[in-house]
Amino acid sequence: MLRSMNEIIELARGKSKVIAIAGAEDKEALKAVYEARELGVSAILFGKKAVVEKNLEELGCEYPIVDCETEEEASKMAVKAVNEGKAHIVMKGLVKTSTLLKAVLDKEYGLRTERLLSHVAVVEVPGVNRLIFITDGGMVIRPTLEQKVQIIENAVGVARKLGYEMPKVALIAAVETVNPDMPETLEAAILAKMSERGQIKGCKIDGPLGIDNALSIYAAEVKGVRGEVAGHADILVVPDIHSGNFLGKSAVYFANGRIAGVIAGARAPVIVISRADTSDSKFASIALAMALA
């Protein structure tokens, strides 16, 4: 069990990974990678060379540049670099997320697998004695039952790479009882039964669970919710992108927490950093991707 973001940073330290930045005209992305150099990360930059060179000069750093005139070309070449083993991680710079993901999923040079792409956030919240994984607050808008299976498998894969042998997965809903008027609770119960029967492997799943009795032993005991997951959840699987997005951001803005995120499901980690992310969040996301690569 990981208890702090610093533990992920230490897992990444010294791994000597190379990040391919698509749209390296983005000074914030360059700055994030440069500030993470202490971990052993380097970069190959894909974008308009003149602009990238100017940004590098202002930051006082040097990285190899591949001149690309369009964001489609930059995305393609960055993904191709990872596919060819020249880099280990793809990172979004000044390109549209949809353009980058189209390149990631390209059948010829991309990094696609049979899996769905989904976002996995890792949060550290004061007062919680462990890191919590949240999925999917960034990719799949309203996942189907079948997609939720893949979202769980992606998050479990991330957790296992970070050292969790049998992560505990909570399927989050507003209530911890099955209610036919709340489809999320029905799907949660189905997924929990699928796990019980071995259809979803490598983790323990329970649901529906309220977020209180998923995280708090006390809340689980008071409400009479029993099981291996209640009060001990490592991974929170949310019903839709809105709840996942709100939950991750509230950990930062309401609770002064720390957050990192990565897109899972491809053959290499994909980092999509927002300009509004704090420098700490950007650093942690790079560390997370390095630990997974």
Q: How confident is the model over 136-175, as pLDDT tens digits?
A: 999 999 999 999 999 999 999 999 999 999 999 999 999 9
**Same domain, yes or no: 108 and 138:** no
Cα separation, 84 vs 32, whole angstroms: 24
Q: How confident is the model at residue 105 (pLDDT cuts 50, 70, 90)?
A: very high
| Per-residue confidence (pLDDT) for residue 264, from 0 to 100 | 97
User: Which CATH number does the domain housing residue 235 bear?
Assistant: 3.40.718.10
Are residues 89 and 216 both part of a single domain?
no
Asked if 103 and 225 sit in the same domain, the reply is: no
Q: Which two tokens stand for residue 240?
A: 């839709």
**What digits encode the pLDDT tens for the residues 219-259?**
999 999 999 999 999 999 999 999 999 999 999 999 999 99
Assess if residue 241 is contained within a domain.
yes
Average pLDDT over residues 32-46: 94
Cα torsion for 234, 169, 284, 264, to the nearest 10°? 160
Cis bond upstream, residue 208 (ω within 30): yes
How many domains does the chain fold into? 2
Q: What secondary structure letter does DSSP report for 166? A: S
Instruction: Give one word for 36, left, alpha or beta, with left for phi > 0 and alpha for psi -120 to 50.
Output: alpha
Same domain, 107 and 23: yes
Q: Which residues contact 188 (CB under 8 A, 6 or more apart)?
A: 171, 172, 173, 178, 207, 208, 209
Q: List the one residue out of 166, 241, 244, 235 whose CA is nearest residue 207.
A: 235
- Write down the mean pLDDT value for the chain: 95
Residues 161 and 284 in one domain: no
CATH number, position 27 = 3.40.50.10950
Place of tokens 């049998």: 166
Question: Does residue 129 sit in the same domain as residue 75?
Answer: no
Backbone angles phi, psi at 205, to 5 degrees: -120, 140
pTM (two decimals)? 0.94
**How high is the pLDDT of residue 218?**
95
Task: Establish whether the linkage from the previous residue to 136 is cis, with ω within 30° of 0.
Answer: yes
Based on the fold, state whether residues 191 and 274 are members of the same structural domain: no
Nearest Cα residue to 269 out of 11, 25, 19: 19
d(CA 91, CA 32): 11
Asked if the structure places residue 261 within a domain, the reply is: no
260 in a structural domain: no
Domain boundaries, position 64: 5-112+266-292
Are 272 and 263 spatial neighbours (Cβ–Cβ below 8 Å)? yes
Residue 260 phi, psi (nearest 5): -135, 155
